[in-house]
Structure 1
Amino acid sequence: MKRRLPTLPIFLLVMWLSLNDSLAPGQIALGVLFAGLVTLAVAALRPVSAWPRRFDVAVFLFFDVLVDIIRSNIAVGSIIVGASKRQPHIGFMKIPLELRDPHGLAVLAMIITACPGSVWAGYDRESNVLTLHILDLQDEAAWIRTVKQRYERPLMEIFE
């Protein structure tokens, strides 16, 4: 098993000292105590630890998601202000997933929900099928391609 730097307690200690605006020995001792107790308390909430394996893929995924969020904002904005004269085709769709890592699924949920016009509406663990609500569902195949190729594949490289 690889030893990793304990990031949570270090982060909590730094935050404690920053918020108290002091490096006094008493504040450091309280910060260490606080960081240790909180780390122990939340350890039971997170039995499976996540450690991304491919940071280079994560960086590219970040920029892909950023571009998709900007595009989605423009598309939803044009629907709302009426720039598009046609009515949006609101609908639900199901996408079969290969991704099973709980951390990867959580990131996928955040990505999909962060893009305006799409919402993670459900996930069936047994069949591994994702349900999405789409504001303007014109091309279901394009949505499946986007989720599987732009998001799911990189997340599998990162987390599995």
Structure 2
Amino acid sequence: MKTKFLSNILLMLIWVFLTGEYNFNNFLFGFLLSFIILWILSGFEDKSAKKYFKIIPKIISFFLFFIWELTKANIQVAYEVITPNLNMKPGIVGLPLDAKTDLEITLLANLITLTPGTLALDVSTDRSVLYVHAMYVVDKKDFIEDIKQGFEKRLLEILR
């Protein structure tokens, strides 16, 4: 998988140097073009190629999902700040974890904390529950389901 990624980067750099335009769009286009070329040439002959060509779209999808969630949370918190009424329903929720390793739990906790209005507080001693403080907890079941089907599911798809 590392060799596919390095090949992808090398082909992207070759594209950028040949076109002579050093801007973000050209780097992005070069990366996507080289990804497609490598995908066609590989023919899925080995497991590392299959994994690489599955994980890159998932990473891009995860990044776009995180930006969307970050934008929504920023707008929600900004609205709360500029309006005179308090619409908050703060609460602490115990989030049962499917994430098992230290890396998975740490990344999930950091993603939750990076999103405005939520803060990962603690992990239970058996590492099965993550405690989260949130500004808007109308229904705890919906809140848990949103995180599990959003951040946790997508993160585990990439890491496992």
Structure 1 unaligned residues grouped into runs of 5+: 8-51
Q: TM-score, normalised by structure 1?
A: 0.62
**Alignment partner of 1:134 is 2:134:** yes
User: What CA distance in whole angstroms lies between the structure 2 residues aligned with 1:57 and 1:123?
Assistant: 27
Structure 2 unaligned residues grouped into runs of 5+: 7-51
- The residue type paired with residue 131 of structure 1 is Y
Counterpart of 2:66 in structure 1 is 65
CA contact (8 A) 1:93 1:140 kept: yes
Count of aligned pairs between the two proteins:
113
Aligned CA-pair RMSD: 2.5
Higher relative CO (Cα under 8 Å, sequence separation at least 6) belongs to 1
User: What CA distance in whole angstroms lies between the structure 1 residues aligned with 2:149 and 2:132?
Assistant: 16
Secondary structure of the residue that 1:145 maps to in structure 2? helix
**Runs of 4 or more above 6 Å deviation:** none
Secondary structure of the residue that 2:123 maps to in structure 1? strand
- The residue type paired with residue 150 of structure 1 is G
Q: Can you list the C-alpha shifts for 1:130-156, whole angstroms capped at 9, x where unaligned? A: 100001212222221111111111221
User: What CA distance in whole angstroms lies between the structure 2 residues aligned with 1:3 and 1:136?
Assistant: 41
Counterpart of 2:153 in structure 1 is 153
CA contact (8 A) 1:117 1:136 kept: yes
CA contact (8 A) 1:120 1:133 kept: yes
Within 5 A, what are the aligned runs for 1:40-119?
54-82=55-83, 85-119=85-119
CA contact (8 A) 2:108 2:152 kept: yes
Secondary structure of the residue that 2:98 maps to in structure 1? coil
CA contact (8 A) 1:61 1:150 kept: no
Between Structure 1 and Structure 2, which shows a larger proportion of helix residues? Answer: 2
1:81 to partner: Cα distance: 1.4
1:158 to partner: Cα distance: 1.3
- The residue type paired with residue 132 of structure 1 is V
Percent of paired sites with the same residue: 21
